[in-house]
Amino acid sequence: MEIVGPHPPCSGGVHTIQILNMLEGFDLRKLGFGTPESVHLILECLKVAAADRRAATADPAFVDVPVAKLISKAYGDSRRSEIDPRRAGVFESRVLSNESQNTTHVTIADGEGNIVTSTQTINSLFGARIMIPGTGVIPNNYMLLFDPHPGNALSLAPGKRITSGITTLIGKKDGKALFALGLPGAHRIPAAAMQTVLNIVDHGMNLQEAVEAPRVFTQGQDVEVEQGFPEAVRARLAAMGHSVVPVAHVAGGMCAIGFGDDSEMTGAACWRADGTPLGLGGGLARKDTSFFTDPRGLAARAHQKS
């Protein structure tokens, strides 16, 4: 499977591939989805990636981001060797947040093979609280996510782009797109997107199952575990040394498209937000045609004005 994702300053693409390389050395399919053993391995890899992100993933115009090393099989092998399959660990970077929910995502594909998976954010409510005259555009206020201390990868500098967790992914095999996905959720986005790839590739879920399956998240401190996981799983993770915090949801609603044979496409959106799969076709409607929903909610009908 070939995974295509965004380049730095976005961190999601690089660290998704880094985590998948680390997990390649474990038989997740045999361990099974949602077992304490498989969730533990995902959490440990999330910790490693978080440490590397803080240390080295930033605007490549200002920082020499070691992309080739981070996504290499050799680096994945070396970091995997630090993971204890039975016990939670603490990890430092081997290379040398306070984000909000005001983010939207759309995944689009057409019959000609074009695919767009796009995430947009203004950070906190109304962003910078100003509007560019005549445009309706509100600038973001992402400057607060820079490191105020000099000399670090994420230190503030004139003209520097902030690192984003945006993780817009396309999965391909033998040159053919199999799925495209993305979601809002601030710094939890990469973890959620990566777990969805595992759900599709390793666990054989269909697209709707993959986007809705329970998720976990950590950056090295508390471990957020969605309440969709059984209490027995959460208890076992705690016994392995994880500081487990049950949460209603990790990141936001995912929007995904799956590509089958004969140009067939399947849309999926999960319960964590109000996303909706939608298929459009047939060209524009006739002049003066309007669309409305049946008041009983049974069907959408077209009405020709007289």
Task: Give the model's pLDDT for residue 143.
Answer: 83
How confident is residue 291, by pLDDT bands cut at 50, 70 and 90? low
Cα–Cα distance measured from residue 19 to residue 258, given in angstroms and rounded to the nearest whole number: 22
Cis omega (within 30 of 0) for bond into 9: yes
Task: Give the model's pLDDT for residue 95.
Answer: 62
**Higher-confidence position of 97 and 28:** 28
- pTM score of the predicted model: 0.82
How confident is residue 305, by pLDDT bands cut at 50, 70 and 90? very low
Cα–Cα distance measured from residue 276 to residue 213, given in angstroms and rounded to the nearest whole number: 17
How confident is residue 306, by pLDDT bands cut at 50, 70 and 90? very low
Q: What b-and-e string marks burial along 126-160, b requiring 16 or more CB atoms within 10 Å of the CB?
A: ebeeeeeeeeeeeebbbeebbeeeeeebbeeeeeb
Residue in this structure with the two tokens 């996905």, named with its chain if needed = 181
The answer, yes or no, to whether residue 100 has pLDDT greater than 50, is: no
Q: Mean pLDDT, to the nearest integer, of 256-285?
A: 88
The answer, yes or no, to whether residue 302 has pLDDT greater than 90, is: no
Cross-strand bridge partners of residue 172: 2, 177
Catalytic site includes residue 103: yes
Task: Give the model's pLDDT for residue 109.
Answer: 95
The answer, yes or no, to whether residue 299 has pLDDT greater than 70, is: no
Cα–Cα distance measured from residue 193 to residue 172, given in angstroms and rounded to the nearest whole number: 15
Cα–Cα distance measured from residue 213 to residue 13, given in angstroms and rounded to the nearest whole number: 21
CB-CB neighbours of 27 under 10 Å:
11
Q: Mean pLDDT, to the nearest integer, of 161-168?
A: 89
Residues 115-156 pLDDT 10s: 999 988 888 888 889 999 999 988 888 888 888 899 988 899
Q: Mean pLDDT, to the nearest integer, of 160-177?
A: 92
Task: Give the model's pLDDT for residue 294.
Answer: 57
Q: Mean pLDDT, to the nearest integer, of 165-172?
A: 94
The answer, yes or no, to whether residue 301 has pLDDT greater than 80, is: no
How confident is residue 298, by pLDDT bands cut at 50, 70 and 90? very low
The answer, yes or no, to whether residue 293 has pLDDT greater than 60, is: no
Pick the catalytic residue: 16, 103, 107, 168?
Answer: 103
Sorted by where each begins, the domain ranges of the chain are 2-304
| Architecture (CATH level 2) of domain 2-304 | 4-Layer Sandwich (3.60)
How confident is residue 103, by pLDDT bands cut at 50, 70 and 90? confident
How confident is residue 164, by pLDDT bands cut at 50, 70 and 90? confident
